[in-house]
A and B are shown apart, each in its own frame.
Chain A
Amino acid sequence: MATLQYILKRLTLMIPTFLLVMVIIFLLVRFLPGDPALAIAGDRASDADLAAIRDRLGLNEPTWVQFWLFLTNTVQGDLGTSILMRTEVLDVVLQRLPTTAFLTVYAVGLSVLIAGPMAFVAALNRGRWPDTVIRTVFQVGLSMPVFYIGLVLLTFLAAQLRWFPVGGYGEGFVSHLYHLFLPAFTVALYTSAIILRNLRSAIIEVLDAEYVQFARAKGLPNRMILGRHVLRNALISTVTLLGLSIGNLMSGTLVTETVFAVPGLGRLMLEAIFARDYPLIQGLTLTFAVLVSLVFLLTDLFQSSLDPRMRLS
């Protein structure tokens, strides 16, 4: 019951956030030089044509009228019609959302699978060679730009060795896993480097804690100490970090989806900005805001289940 109340309260608190996001993005796109009419009609159109298109799109209305329409329509679940795609923004977003969601979850999953065991190995061998090797390798992953690592992986693993396809999304779950492996792995290299650093030092800290020494003294088997006491306590700060990096990952899809030719929300956002597709930019920004907020909420819920001291209030 307390949990439900907490969730409701958090959801209510999100409303002002979304309102703020809407105001900012609405004004931001209108401050950009160039407008959708120009993007539709092209450089060659006459000024009269442009004026007519602006009129048709309602861009000649006062700004506050436009915002009021945006707000009231959004509340009713209508994000408007994309100028670029000539279809409902909501339809386009829902069509692309699974691709980006798949890629993000895949990348997070790989990050955890890579960083988790490595962090344990490094922490348990603190200061010895496995620790040094792991930290050096992941430092490289952290210091190279994602698009560059992506291109290197594409060149060797896809174009030359042909182990993976160069781009695309595929059809069906297994095919998605196969097609999105390289983009997910590329992103995971970066994210796992961040997680590894954090998790490693958290584990080290916990290993030195008195309750772990007590558990050892008590004669508990090593597996139980690591699983029940060390991992659980070390995970608390890592989960927060993971939640934050999912937010990062979503903005990162703008680059990843372009390099790996994945038709998801990130690439759509890029196209929308270049075409000054106001409704689509607004709809996508709002979608990202909702997704990130939900991820943060989930993170907090997960954290409180890990640590009873973190009361839901």
Chain B
Amino acid sequence: MKRTVMVAALAAATALCTPAMAQERGGTLKFARYDGSRLIDPIYADRNPDIWMVGSLFDTLLRTGADGSSVVAGLAESYSVSEDGLSVSLTLRDGVKFANGSDLTSADVVFSLDRARNPDLSPWAGLLGSIKSVAADGNTVTISLNNPDPTLLSMLATFNTGIVSKAAFDGAEGATDQEKSAAIFASASAGVGSGPFFMCDFEQGASMKFCANDNYWRMGSDGKALPYLESVDFEIIPDDATRILKLQAGEVDVAEFIPFSRVSELEADQSINMNLYPSTRIIYSPINTRDTRADGTPNPLADPKVRQAINYATNKEALIGLVLQGAGKPMTSPLMAAATPMSTGETPLYSYDMAKAQELIKEAGVEPGTEITLTTLAGSADDSTIFAALQQMWSPLGLKVNVEQVDGATRGAKNRSGEFDIHTYGWVNDVNDPSQVVGWLGYHPTRKAVGTGWNNDEFNGLFEAAAVELDPAKRAEQFAKMQDIYAEAAPLLFMYETPFAVAVSKSVEGYVQTPLGNNIFDEASVNR
């Protein structure tokens, strides 16, 4: 009894002290990753393990606000858009330096943006397709546009417009821009970016180290420059169980991509905060909508009624329970996660309704015993569960579901060639605007509406109109209409949204993963 009282008193005293205590500074955060970075460069980053780290090394002109959708000042302390929407001018913050101490100038900004919008270099150039030219005058950068672009400001807060040092590229070895970029990356140079950290050590496929940029311009809560940490050590541990053990043994402070089946166990661990960060990740399954399958046989899924029927027959809540142990929610918009700007729909799409599903399948005249193949990822426990569940859920419709297990590269090839009926898939937004995900899932010219072959003229027209619509209200209307059309046509099996499950030691504060997946260490600290 006495001991409890003392502990309580101690806890109270500690609680009283905390606000007065200075912000913890210094130290190393140890981070266990599921996969390694290959090249962290704003324009060459094309896999999530690369993209999600760009922001730590490279600053952008604008930043996404704390609310997740507004844009706020970044390297540019102010910006203005001309009335006709055809030009944006930005004023750079005074005295910003790269991590090696050299000045960041408007010439670097012009160099970086020209690089980012060059389709010969960047796979992301399409996101900046509206830019006609970028010019600098002293501290001011002016971007001229071919057409008004409602997404431009968001793009200036996106990883692919991160500012790189022109001098670093001029001085790097290599014949092409990509070779130079790879050489700079391999040499772990401090002179290429102005983000809160610079990469100070790198071993391909094994480990990586970020060191604090002493010249970073943003201020912490203690009035001194960010970041609080001295460094971040990354170690690649592909095995889920080992990553968790590493955290439990105290060898790392953060373990990402915790399987949902382990979440409740880690929630019970006193020394760990089991965080479920809201994300824009959606798990869905493209359905082949072509009249015939790749082998020439008729495709029962070409009929929208059949696609609607399997959507109604899928009990999403049950799936979420089975696969995610409840840590997820059914999709409410057919084209994007609810956290995406301009998403519509408050209630789950195609709520479980077996009577309606059976009626639709009857109307479509599907023969009982019709076979459908679900292509899943070999070795994925989630996909095996999904298959087993769908096989049962769809059997009252008279559908016989077969499974085909492949690896990721094979699945990608099948999606492209149309050699599938339905396959599992996932998506996380890279930009803070619905245009990217909507273009991917529904706009036929992008990639045949995520490989489904679905092609709707009205939808495509709306998408093109929204790409140049500056009036936010009208644009939201266009996206709302697209979501209605898409939900009705059901080229996907709409499944669920999942959070990012990251287990963090209690000694760590201030680390976040954004809805886009970006790992943010700017205001992280460790208290050992």
Contacts and interface: CB of A to CB of B under 8 A. Distances in A.
Interface of A: 32-35, 38-47, 49-50, 84-87, 92, 151, 154-155, 158-159, 162, 165-169, 258-261, 263, 267-268, 270-271, 274-276
A151 B239 CA distance: 10
A96 B207 CA distance: 13
The 9 A-B pairs of least Cβ separation, nearest first, read: A34-B409, A263-B206, A33-B410, A261-B237, A34-B413, A166-B246, A159-B245, A159-B249, A43-B412
A274 B407 contact: yes
A34 B203 CA distance: 27
Interface of B: 38-39, 46-47, 123, 182, 186, 203-207, 235-239, 241-243, 245-246, 248-251, 406-416, 440, 446-447
Contact of A259 (B239, B406, B413): B239
Contacts of A46: 446-447
Nearest to B47: A42
A166 B249 contact: yes
Nearest to A50: B416
A38 B123 contact: no
B245 A268 contact: no
B251 A166 contact: yes
A134 B412 CA distance: 50
A33 B205 contact: no
A167 B123 CA distance: 36
Contact of B412 (A38, A85, A169, A258): A38
B408 A274 contact: yes
Nearest to A86: B182
Contacts of B416: 38, 43, 47, 50
Given A38-B412, A38-B413, A85-B38, A166 B235 contact: no
Contacts of B251: 165-168
21 contacts: A32-B410, A33-B409, A33-B413, A34-B408, A34-B411, A38-B409, A40-B46, A50-B416, A87-B186, A154-B242, A159-B245, A159-B248, A166-B242, A168-B235, A259-B239, A260-B242, A261-B238, A261-B239, A263-B205, A267-B205, A276-B409
B447 to A, nearest CB: 7
B239 A34 contact: no
A119 B205 CA distance: 40
Given A39-B409, A41-B46, A85-B204, A162 B447 contact: no
A260 B238 CA distance: 9
Nearest to B48: A42
A271 B47 CA distance: 14
A169 B440 CA distance: 41
Contacts of A167: 235, 237, 242, 246, 251
A54 to B, nearest CB: 13
B249 A162 contact: yes
A164 to B, nearest CB: 9
A261 B410 CA distance: 26
Residue of A40, A84, A261, A275 contacting most chain B CB atoms (<10 Å):
A261
A143 B398 CA distance: 43
A271 B245 contact: no
A102 to B, nearest CB: 14
A120 B408 CA distance: 50
Given A41-B123, A47-B416, A261 B409 contact: no
Given A159-B245, A159-B249, A162-B249, A261 B46 contact: no
Contact of A32 (B39, B409, B414, B440): B409
Contacts of A151: 241-242
A89 to B, nearest CB: 12
